[in-house]
Amino acid sequence: MNDDMSEYEIYAIRYASKDDRRSSENFIENDAPDIQMPLDFFVWALVSPNRTVIVDTGFDEKAGNARNYAVTRPVAEGLKQIGINPDNVKDVILTHMHWDHAGNRGLFSQARYHVQEREMHFCTGRCMCDAQQNKAYNAEDVSHIVRRNFEGSVTLHDPNSDFDDGISLHWLGGHTAGLQVVRVKTRRGHVVLASDASHYYANILQRRPFPVLFDMNQMLNGFAVIQKLADSPSHIIPGHDRQVLSLFPAAREGLDGIARLDADPIGRPA
């Protein structure tokens, strides 16, 4: 573990996959051949000498089965494989509150949740009266954050927020009204966890928006903002791209599905 208190190690932990996903499902306009393009699901752990922060909480087996997505490694198991006990986690950042990013409601009982205020307004307001807008949310996940807010365990953030020395939060919108990305200082520079601001490398690098969105202009502008926040294209981490696991080294030898994003990449995205 590195000794700079403001630098973080970053772990990408895959907890579920959908192998039969097609490329035609991942772009608004797709003139290329329709090929297999798997969708992987991640949570991220930020670790410094004095703080551990979890970014997004994923979904559990029950929630996945209800939508025909299988959990391949429970989030708690993945965290414990890199030495993190969920019961000891004090801070959780939710990039947004879609069902696959804000589940596992009982997992982080001691944590303070960090959400964009715009996202809280969005997923408790009039847009949730529309079936197209609310289908990516689980009412129970939203209710959980509302209850935690009443208990004093939620911080609602402004569009640009200095979370900690070495971590900042940046509202982009686009995919949802309140989606935020996380900029993290690491030993190799500033990494941006793009989450669903860019599901795949191809979304941002080729400026091809993902079809689940709230505002097209926000999504396109978000691509540009991410590129400014990240030190280079190799410092951009998309939310669901399987290539992440082959472009970065494993957290430790023999541990499949958990990558070290603060380490130098070992390849370039296709």
Q: Are 56 and 63 in contact (CB under 8 A)?
A: no
pTM: 0.96
Q: What is residue 3's predicted lDDT score, i.e. its pLDDT? A: 56
User: Is 4's pLDDT higher than 80?
Assistant: no
CA 60 to chain CA mean position, Å: 16
Give tens-digit pLDDT for 181-195. 999 999 999 999 999
Domain residues for the domain of 236 are: 9-260
- Cα–Cα dist 124/105, whole Å: 17
The span from the CA of 218 to the CA of 258, in Å, is 31
From residue 242, give the alpha-carbon distance in Å to each of 12, 163, 185.
11, 28, 23
pLDDT at residue number 258: 98
When the pLDDT of each residue in the chain is averaged and rounded to a whole number, the result is 96
pLDDT in tens, 255-270: 999 999 999 999 999 8
In a domain, 268, yes or no: no
**Residue closest to 119 by CA, chosen among 91, 149, 74, 90:** 149
Residue 61 is part of a domain; what is its CATH number? 3.60.15.10
- Compute the distance between CA of residue 237 and CA of residue 34 in angstroms, rounded to an integer: 24
Between CA 210 and CA 2 the distance in angstroms is 36
Whether residue 212 is contained in a domain is answered as yes
The structure tokens listed for 203 are 């979304």
Does some domain include residue 1?
A: no
- Beta-carbon contacts of 126 under 8 Å, excluding residues fewer than 6 positions away, are none
Q: How many other CB atoms are there within 10 angstroms of residue 214's CB atom?
A: 17
Domain contains 36: yes
**What whole-number distance in Å separates Cα of residue 146 and Cα of residue 129?**
17
The answer, yes or no, to whether residue 53 has pLDDT greater than 90, is yes
- Look up residue 262 and give its two tokens: 């603060």
> Measured between alpha carbons, how far apart are the two ends of the chain, in Å?
31
Q: Evaluate if residue 32 carries a pLDDT over 90.
A: no
Tell me how many domains the chain contains.
1
Distance, in Å, from the CA atom of 232 to the CA atom of 249, rounded to the nearest integer, reads 18
**Angstrom distance (rounded) from CA 69 to CA 18:** 7
DSSP lists the bridge partners of residue 192 as 183, 236
Quick one: which of 129, 236, 139 has its CA closest to 189?
236
Residue at 265 is within a domain? no
Which helix (DSSP H) or strand (DSSP E) does residue 133 occupy?
Answer: helix 131-134
56 is a domain residue: yes
- Dihedral sign for Cα 96, 100, 210, 130, please: negative
